[in-house]
Amino acid sequence: MSLKPELAFLNGRSVMARLMREKQWAGTPFGPPQEWPQSLRSVVDLMLGSAFPMFVAWGPNLNTLYNDAYGEIMGAKHPDGLGKPFLEIWHEISEDLQPLARRAMGGEAFYMENLPLRMSRHGYEEDTWFTFSWSPVLDESGRIAGMYCACTETTRMVLAEQHLRAREGWLQSLFDQSPGFAAVVRGQDHVFEMANEAYYRVTGNRELVGKALAEALPEVREQGFIDRLDSVYKSGVPFVGRSYPITMNKGLNAPNYEAYVDFMYQPLRDAAGRVQGIFIQGHDVTEQHHAQQALREADQQKDEFLATLAHELRNPLAPLRSAAHILSAPGVSDETRARATEVISRQVGHMSHLLDDLIDIARITQRRLSLKKQLVEVGAVVDAAFEAARPLAEAKKHKLTAHVTNRSVRLMVDPVRMTQVLSNLLNNATKYTDPGGSIDLNVGACDGALRFTVSDNGIGLTQSALKTMFVMFAQEKAALERSEGGLGIGLALVKGLVELHGGTVSASSEGLGRGSRFVVTIPTAGTAAEQPAAAVAAEAGRAEPEATASRLVLLADDNQDASDLMAELLRMCGHIVHTARNGTEAAEMALRHKPDVLVLDIGMPGLNGYEVAQQVRAQPWGANPLIIAATGWGQEQDRQKATQAGFDLHLTKPFDPRMLTDIIAQRGR
**pLDDT tens-place string over residues 34-81:** 889 999 999 999 999 999 999 999 999 999 999 999 999 999 999 999
SS3 letters across 181-240:
EEEEEECCCCEEEEECHHHHHHCCCCCCCCCEHHHHCHHHCCCCHHHHHHHHHHHCCCEE
Topology of the domain covering 293-365: Helix Hairpins (1.10.287)
Rg (CA), the chain: 45
pLDDT of residue 2: 57
Q: Within 10 A of 538 (CB to CB), how many other CB atoms are there?
A: 11
Average pLDDT over residues 602-611: 90
Q: pLDDT category, 483, cuts 50, 70, 90?
A: very low
pTM of the complete model beyond 0.75: no
C-alpha 435 chain-centroid distance: 54
Q: Within 10 A of 18 (CB to CB), how many other CB atoms are there?
A: 12
pLDDT of residue 369: 74
CB 595 within 8 A of CB 623: no
Mean pLDDT of the chain: 84
Q: Is 362 left (phi over 0), alpha (psi -120 to 50) or beta?
A: alpha
| Contact residues for 194 (Cβ-Cβ < 8 A; gap 6+) | 172, 175, 183, 184, 209
In whole angstroms, give the CA distance from residue 212 to residue 218: 10
Comma-separated ranges of CATH 3.30.565.10 domains in the chain: 374-542
- The string of pLDDT tens digits covering residues 237-265 is 999 999 889 988 776 667 788 889 999 99
Alpha helix (H) ranges present in 93-154? 94-105
The answer to whether domain 5-156 has CATH 3.30.390.50 is: no
pLDDT of residue 332: 82
In whole angstroms, give the CA distance from residue 579 to residue 555: 5
The secondary structure of 52-65 as a DSSP string is S-EEEEETTTTEEE
Query: Going by DSSP bridges, is the β-strand pair 438-446/399-404 parallel, antiparallel, or unpaired?
Result: parallel
pLDDT of residue 165: 85
Among 248, 245, 257, 178, residue whose Cα is nearest residue 216:
248
Comma-separated ranges of CATH 1.10.287.130 domains in the chain: 293-365
Residue 29 burial (CB < 10 Å; 0-12/13-18/19+)? middle
The answer to whether domain 178-284 has CATH 3.30.450.20 is: yes
pLDDT of residue 479: 42
DSSP strand E in 570-614: where? 576-580, 597-600
- The string of pLDDT tens digits covering residues 499-523 is 989 999 999 988 888 889 999 999 9
| Dihedral of alpha carbons 660, 662, 665, 669, sign | negative
Among 197, 169, 166, 204, residue whose Cα is nearest residue 183:
197
Comma-separated ranges of CATH 3.40.50.2300 domains in the chain: 552-667
In whole angstroms, give the CA distance from residue 111 to residue 169: 30
Comma-separated ranges of CATH 3.30.450.20 domains in the chain: 5-156, 178-284
In eight-state DSSP terms, residue 395 is H
The architecture of the domain spanning 552-667 is 3-Layer(aba) Sandwich (3.40)
Is 603 a residue whose pLDDT tops 70?
Answer: yes
pLDDT of residue 478: 41
State what percent of residues in the chain have pLDDT above 70.
Answer: 86
pLDDT of residue 225: 92
In whole angstroms, give the CA distance from residue 205 to residue 197: 9
Instruction: Name the CATH superfamily, with its identifier, for domain 374-542.
Output: Histidine kinase-like ATPase, C-terminal domain (3.30.565.10)
Average pLDDT over residues 175-196: 87
CB 304 within 8 A of CB 475: yes
